[in-house]
């Protein structure tokens, strides 16, 4: 399996073919500023789906990832995924027997064909160490990094940006890893107190937290600017763990397959997935799973008040917002107005034309956005299964209350966005599976506002906000970040 850039670069350090998985694993962005994708998507037929249906999560992860990774020996890859997707990693106070499914499906309303009801379910993805779905990919990424670095005798310095959950997931996955330092940018005072505490309370010498006085988009722009300085990137061995890293997206493919198998009894049925969306990485994995042949009838994209992506799927107009126009909301991990992974989907939408991607993203970088309405590309959007909607703070409160009163289920604010939009866009012919984003404990203040009670926390995270915190606050400044990296790596 070889990889290409959405902006056209396919050269490899080894030959004229595109790079392999391990060649792109540590780098993040392609040299031309594009994002990596497979040269073609491997296909899965009904017979293979039947075989996969009976697999454990770890075995399913191996089966899916082996289609994208052919430069790690199969026995080594199998060992990596088995160590990653172990019940002890995803138990969060539950017994290992309870945690054995890794991503259990919880039915809120079971399908009833006689009444024309497709069913409504939540796929639990937040039982990892940081209580967020990001753990599903980040734990694997940590093990992959350590394996590849040891094999090469190299080190890496990870530079990333987080809107709330990626940062803690990355830091918990990388803490103590040999040959790895993490420099994580976050928007100052724009995450929940719990999210800040999860990151800033870590005292590991290889973890460095930097809060920027701005939005997530500002932090993400700084990361891209540093990564685009090829001399600096090479000198300090800068790598990426944001969802611009292809390995993150590849790992997220697995739970789409697992969720499909849990919700259906055979491969002749389609399902819908409702996905809370900020940076487009999570739902991009669903798009790729669908392109591989998984019977996904609908991909329901749910945004909060920062509805740039919803606007595109409704109108064809993509207009990233300025910092001043990006709202601080009660689902802060989705307070994003420049969705990095969106470029991967548009690349497929445009028939994989890198010249058009370069042209469109030049407009994006100039602050103009682009308009595909009235083009054959916008007309072909239904072929990709996407529909979309948005949610507000009032909607979140109402959805949290309804879920608790109707089904005895407490959901976090982001999952509430997905549940609200997914419920509105349900169809009777297929189950609607809402992807859980985080556990309610991460957003205690809004849960208390909605329900008048605090959510439960795993025992090990009681009082985390009271721990000493270590973070450096700076203005939005590329040079300042470079100086911190240089200082810490002396």
Instruction: Note the pLDDT of residue 93.
Output: 65
Mind listing the pLDDT tens digit for each residue in 368-393? 999 999 999 999 999 999 999 999 99
Judge contact between 418 and 257, C-beta under 8 A.
no
User: According to the model, what pLDDT value does residue 29 have?
Assistant: 84
Check the CA dihedral 434-282-139-53 and report its sign: positive
The answer for residues whose C-beta is within 8 angstroms of residue 484's C-beta and 6 or more apart is: 183, 208, 210, 472, 474
More confident residue, 243 or 155: 155
Confidence of residue 113 (pLDDT cuts 50, 70, 90): confident
User: What is the pTM for the complete model shown?
Assistant: 0.92
pLDDT score, position 27: 77
Asked whether residue 12 carries a pLDDT value surpassing 70, the answer given is no
Res 14 pLDDT > 70: no
How far is Cα 196 from Cα 203, in angstroms, rounded to an integer? 13
* pLDDT score at 301: 98
CA-to-CA distance for 217 and 64, rounded, in angstroms? Answer: 32
237 is a catalytic site residue: no
Dist. CA 426–CA 246, nearest whole Å: 30
The catalytic residue among 134, 177, 233, 338 is 134
pLDDT in tens, 115-147: 888 999 999 999 999 999 999 999 999 999 999
3-state SS assignment for residue 417: helix
Tens of pLDDT, residue by residue over 265-277, are 988 899 999 999 9
Looking at residue 58, what DSSP letter applies? H
* Residue 440: pLDDT over 80: yes
- CA distances, 72 to each of 49, 69, 151, 174, 382 (Å): 24, 6, 10, 20, 37
Mean of pLDDT values over 202-215: 95
How high is the pLDDT of residue 10?
Answer: 54
Q: How far is the C-alpha of 251 from the C-alpha of 270, rounded, in Å?
A: 22
Cα torsion 100, 105, 110, 113 to 10°: value is: -100
Burial 47-74 (b: 16+ CB within 10 A, else e): eebeebbebebbebbbbbbbbbbeebee
> What's the rounded Cα separation, in Å, for the pair 216 and 162?
7
Which percentage of the chain shows pLDDT scores above 90?
86
The 10s digit of each residue's pLDDT in 235-255 is 999 988 888 899 999 999 999
- The model's confidence at residue 13, banded by pLDDT at 50, 70 and 90, is very low
Q: Can you list the domains of the chain with their CATH numbers? A: 102-130+248-451 (3.40.50.1100)
Q: Return phi, psi of residue 276, to 5°.
A: -60, 130
pLDDT tens digits, residue range 171-208? 999 998 888 999 999 999 999 999 999 999 999 999 99
Tokens of 475: 């203005």
Report helix, strand or coil for 239.
strand
How far apart, in whole angstroms, are the C-alpha atoms of residue 384 and residue 382?
5
The helix-helix angle for 135-152 and 74-84 (nearest 10°) equals: 140
Q: Which helix (H) or strand (E) holds 377?
A: helix 376-379
Task: Name residue, tokens 């080594």.
Answer: 76
Token pair, residue 104, equals 């259990």
- Mean pLDDT over residues 356-371, rounded? 94
Between helix 342-349 and helix 354-365 the angle, nearest 10°, is 140
* Residue 161 neighbours by CB distance under 10 Å: 29
State the Cα–Cα distance between residues 296 and 271, nearest whole angstrom.
5
CA atoms of 202 and 209, how far apart (whole Å): 9
């Amino acid at each position: 399996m070889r990889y290409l850039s959405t902006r056209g670069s396919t050269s490899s350090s080894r030959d004229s073919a595109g790079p392999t998985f391990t060649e792109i694993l540590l780098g993040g962005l392609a040299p031309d500023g594009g994002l990596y994708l497979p040269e073609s998507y491997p296909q899965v037929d009904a017979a293979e789906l039947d075989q996969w249906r009976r697999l454990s999560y770890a075995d399913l992860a191996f089966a899916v990832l082996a289609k994208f990774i052919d430069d790690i020996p199969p026995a080594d890859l199998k060992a990596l995924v088995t160590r990653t997707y172990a019940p002890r990693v995803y138990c969060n106070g539950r017994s290992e027997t309870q945690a054995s499914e890794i991503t259990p499906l919880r039915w809120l309303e079971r399908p009833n064909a006689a009444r024309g009801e497709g069913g409504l379910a939540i796929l639990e993805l937040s039982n990892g160490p940081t209580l967020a779905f990001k753990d599903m990919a980040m734990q694997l990424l940590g093990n992959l990094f350590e394996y590849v670095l040891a094999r090469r005798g190299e080190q890496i310095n990870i530079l990333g940006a987080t809107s709330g959950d990626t940062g803690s997931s990355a830091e918990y996955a990388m803490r103590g890893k040999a040959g790895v330092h993490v420099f994580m940018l976050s928007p100052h005072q724009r995450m929940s107190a719990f999210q800040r505490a999860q990151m800033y309370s870590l005292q590991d010498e290889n973890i460095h937290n930097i809060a920027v006085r701005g939005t997530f988009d500002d932090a993400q722009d700084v990361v891209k600017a540093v990564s685009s300085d090829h001399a600096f990137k090479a000198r300090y061995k800068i790598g990426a763990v944001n969802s611009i890293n292809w390995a993150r997206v590849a790992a997220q493919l697995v739970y789409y397959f697992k969720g499909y198998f849990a919700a259906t009894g055979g491969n002749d049925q389609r399902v819908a997935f409702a996905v809370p969306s900020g940076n487009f990485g999570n739902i991009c994995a669903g798009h790729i799973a669908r392109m591989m042949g998984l019977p996904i009838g609908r991909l329901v994209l749910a945004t909060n008040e920062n509805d740039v992506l919803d606007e595109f799927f409704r109108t064809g107009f993509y207009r990233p917002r300025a910092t001043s126009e990006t709202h601080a909301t009660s689902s802060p991990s989705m307070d994003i107005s420049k969705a990095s992974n969106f470029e991967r989907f548009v690349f497929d939408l445009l028939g994989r034309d890198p010249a058009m991607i370069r042209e469109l993203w030049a407009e994006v970088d100039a602050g103009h956005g682009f308009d595909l309405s009235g083009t054959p590309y916008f007309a072909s959007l239904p072929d990709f299964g996407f529909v979309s909607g948005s949610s507000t703070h009032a909607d979140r409160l109402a959805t949290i209350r309804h879920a608790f009163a109707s089904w005895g289920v407490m959901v976090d604010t982001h999952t509430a966005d997905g549940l609200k939009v997914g419920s509105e866009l349900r169809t009777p012919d297929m189950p609607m599976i809402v992807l859980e984003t985080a556990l309610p404990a991460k957003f205690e203040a809004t849960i208390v506002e909605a329900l008048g009670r605090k959510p439960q926390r795993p025992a090990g995270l009681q009082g985390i906000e009271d721990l000493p915190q270590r973070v450096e606050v700076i203005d939005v400044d590329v040079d300042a970040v470079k100086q911190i990296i240089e200082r810490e790596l002396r």
